[in-house]
Amino acid sequence: MNVSALNRSSFINVLRRAIWYMSAERISWGVLFPLQLWFALHGRWVWFGICVVASTFVLVFRRTIANIGVLARIRAHASEQRTLDTDAQLYLRSLRAGKPSKSEPLVLFLRPFSADRAIHGKDPSSPNGFDKATLETRLASGFAGQFTTIAFSSRLEGRDIWGDAWVDQFDASPYDADFYKREGRLFYQRPGQIVTEDANWFETFRLLAEAASLIVSIPIDASPSSEQSSTIVELLDLCANCKLEKCIFLMPPEQSVWLLRPSDETETRRGTDQSWSPQERKMSSLWESTRAKLARSGFTVPQFRDTSDGATIFTFSGNECRISVVKSRELSNPCAYTKALGVDVRT
């Protein structure tokens, strides 16, 4: 992406975000009402009347204007995400060529692929007690800009999640009482993403883990099967290669999550079916199940604990496990909690 195209894209995104903030009330009182006063003081009654009609129009059709603002913000997120994805792909390409980037530290996100868009931190000020943004959005937005962020994606997952969200919730409006429930999906943000095939997934993981200044993980295997998943394999490899000290782990608070799993998956065998079925699971159940799988291979993580605000973060330093509860809003300021846990992101 050349400089002029990048600048143009940034300008368009600033404009899109401005549209999101220009509600019907703000247009009426912040723009049209001052114009009415100015035209009245100068005796320009035709223009005064036009402003009155326009003000009435925007207030009558305020839901339509609000929906335009929602769509503008979604498109801004999608545009910014394409830039992050491009940066992630260029970073990986440079690593494979033996020319690692020196511009920004790399933060590598290891996540449960089936639940990363469904997990939220607690927020006591929210009507339903949960943060409107997902944990992944809080973390990714905090690291974006200062760091290169990379996470894995499978081809099955698809890429145009913002378009899907808009289609699913076309009539979503900030004027709806339950709009806060939709914001996390509509305005979802993730790290820069690369698509990996099964054939080279583990090689890519090791290459990125070696280059990363910080590795972020929600250590949850969403499968009920006793067989090892990619999440378990990644964590055991980090442990075996003494890379745990540059990792931070998130323990989400108690909540129910809906997972899509292969229809033929059982407790003894991972599924391979192309048809998927939804499953509702408790976070504590997923956590303790994964914890048991890791323990069988000698990797011990803390027992599940709930929290009333935010999420629990822990790190390993030698044989010591450091645990801290970070509030939801503070998750967007990673330098504060990484420093408190003794993790230096810049190294």
Q: pLDDT tens digits for 38-71?
A: 999 999 999 999 999 999 999 999 888 888 888 8
Q: pLDDT tens digits for 319-335?
A: 788 998 998 888 888 87
Coil/strand/helix, residue 107? strand
Average per-residue pLDDT in the chain?
82
d(CA 221, CA 287): 8
Q: How confident is the model at residue 115 (pLDDT cuts 50, 70, 90)?
A: low
165 alpha carbon, distance to own chain's centre: 14
- The residue among 232, 160, 240 whose CA lies nearest residue 193 is 160
**H-run or E-run covering 162:** helix 161-168
- Whether the pLDDT of residue 157 is over 60: the answer is no
- pTM of model > 0.75: yes
Q: How confident is the model at residue 342 (pLDDT cuts 50, 70, 90)?
A: confident
pLDDT confidence of residue 160: 52
- Whether the pLDDT of residue 162 is over 80: the answer is no
pLDDT confidence of residue 118: 80
Q: pLDDT tens digits for 171-192?
A: 677 888 778 777 877 788 888 8
In the predicted model, what is the mean pLDDT of residues 234-259?
90
pLDDT confidence of residue 122: 93
pLDDT confidence of residue 55: 92
pLDDT confidence of residue 71: 84
Specify whether the CB–CB gap between 129 and 310 falls below 8 A. no
Q: How confident is the model at residue 226 (pLDDT cuts 50, 70, 90)?
A: confident
d(CA 187, CA 134): 10
What is the DSSP track for 22-57? --HHHHIIIIIHHHHHHHHHTT-HHHHHHHHHHHHH
pLDDT confidence of residue 10: 79
d(CA 112, CA 118): 10
